[in-house]
Amino acid sequence: MTGRGVDRRSFLTGAGGAGIGLGLGALLGETQSAAVSPAAAADQPAIVPFWGPHQAGIATPAQDHLHFAAFDLVTSRRQDLTDLLATWTATAAALSVGDPGGTIDDDLLRPPGDTGEALGAGPAHLTVTFGFGPGLFVSGAADRYGLQGSRPAALADLPAFPGDRLDVARSGGDLAVQVCADDPVVAFHAVHMLARQARGVATLRWSQLGFGRTSSTTSSQETPRNLMGHKDGTNNLHADDVDQLDQHVWVGDEGPTWMRGGSYLVVRRIRMHLEAWDRATLGEQEQTIGRHKSSGAPLGGTEESSPVDLDATDQGGQSLIPARSHIRLAAPSTNSGARLLRRGYSFADGVDALGEQDVGLFFICYQRDPTQQFVPIQQRLAESDALDEYIVHTSSAVFACPPGADAGGTIGAALLSG
């Protein structure tokens, strides 16, 4: 078998041999551990290993582009779900190394196995991360797949927060697919292929494109700016701090067996009222955030990396970091030490009927238990954050992302075989 390390281009030109289809999981898994030839490494460096103890796309350095998709299950059969996850896992593993999701061969009488738009684009650090929504475990009163007893307590429906203006059609979902890549066409292609494979079993409920990551997820990445022009995520958890991830991100012994090594995902589409923000003075903006705009330093500090000193006061005894500022209310010390691994992206979805841009931040965070992390933090922010004057949450969802799989395995298999 010659498929390993073959990208979409060489596949098509024949260098990788024809006939590669799905079911390559066992083979492709070798790329994570096996030595790669120097030539292959030079040609193909942009691969994030798919197989492993944790799913890719959580502690992976944030790529430049996001395509997030939520699906509703339309089947009543548990086996369909099991089969879909097997197909999706194999496809995600193939795409992650730059292989196509199926053949485009010379069979003129069948639809091409791969949809084709990413041919030649390479793997582009593609990651595909799968999550299970509450609807998988219970839908209304129905336990449609016999999974009700497996629902973790941490996968609770999110409460309604003050100020929420949620679009139901863009919230929730039974299955989540978070696709990140450095090439937006590669990201699009992954969602396209998975949606096509889901026909008859699951339908696309909503999707969201994102550009311009708004968080660093490793200590070596520079802190980016969000569309308000502020550095975002300076004090994010970093994926290279393994102890912190074990403490705050990966589910441990407290969770059901099938979730250990997994993580809970909360997404919130946060629209920004940019026109109002643009009219605020520099002082108002900095007092709202609690950081200087240009440097990103906390008020009272001199550099972005300056520690956030919530006790610092000016000569008149006033707090330098205001009581309602965003960074004070979101700080771990304000929230009993709770922290999140953020992975947000900017979005821009055109113009609304009033001529205002429909833009903002698609907030993504991972954590060990949303009921102890995202929920209490967001409750505090929704009640008091000065930033609430300029933002509104328009969609929301929570998912349980199971651990990774060994090469050739299936993401979520431990739940469905349980």
Decide: 29 and 1 in contact? Cβ < 8 Å: no
Residues in the chain: 418
Footprint on residues 295-314 left by its own copies (CB under 8 A): 295
Residue 172, classed as helix, strand or coil, is coil
- For its own copies, which stretch binds (CB under 8 A), given 27-35, 195-203, 244-252, 331-339? 195-203
Decide: 63 and 127 in contact? Cβ < 8 Å: yes
DSSP state of 382: H
Residues contacting 256, CB < 8 A, separation 6+: 150, 152
Cβ-based nearer residue to its own copies, 164 or 358: 358
Distance, CA of 96 to chain centre: 16
345-351/202-213 β-pairing: antiparallel
Shortest separation between residue 64's beta carbon and its own copies, angstroms: 8
Shortest separation between residue 293's beta carbon and its own copies, angstroms: 6
Shortest separation between residue 398's beta carbon and its own copies, angstroms: 19
Cβ-based nearer residue to its own copies, 207 or 247: 207
Footprint on residues 140-179 left by its own copies (CB under 8 A): 169-170
Beta bridge partners of 179: 67, 128
- For its own copies, which stretch binds (CB under 8 A), given 147-155, 250-258, 281-289, 320-328? 281-289
> Under the criterion CB under 8 A, does residue 12 sit at the interface with its own copies?
yes
Shortest separation between residue 211's beta carbon and its own copies, angstroms: 4
Footprint on residues 119-138 left by its own copies (CB under 8 A): 119-120
- Dihedral angle computed from the Cα positions of residues 317, 319, 322 and 324, in that order, rounded to the nearest 10 degrees: -90
Q: What's the half-sphere exposure (Cβ side, CA atoms, 13 Å) at 161?
A: 26
Q: Which two tokens stand for residue 130?
A: 């799968």
Footprint on residues 201-240 left by its own copies (CB under 8 A): 203-209, 211-212, 222, 224-230
Task: Please tell me the distance from the alpha carbon of residue 373 to that of residue 379, in angstroms, as a whole number.
Answer: 10
Cβ-based nearer residue to its own copies, 241 or 284: 284
Footprint on residues 48-87 left by its own copies (CB under 8 A): 65, 67
Cβ-based nearer residue to its own copies, 26 or 195: 195
Shortest separation between residue 348's beta carbon and its own copies, angstroms: 5
Q: Is 34 exposed, middle or buried (0-12, 13-18, 19+ CB in 10 A)?
A: exposed
Binding site for its own copies (CB under 8 A): 12, 65, 67, 104, 106-112, 114-120, 169-170, 183-185, 188, 192, 195-196, 203-209, 211-212, 222, 224-230, 274-275, 278-283, 285-286, 293-295, 346, 348-351, 353, 355-357, 359
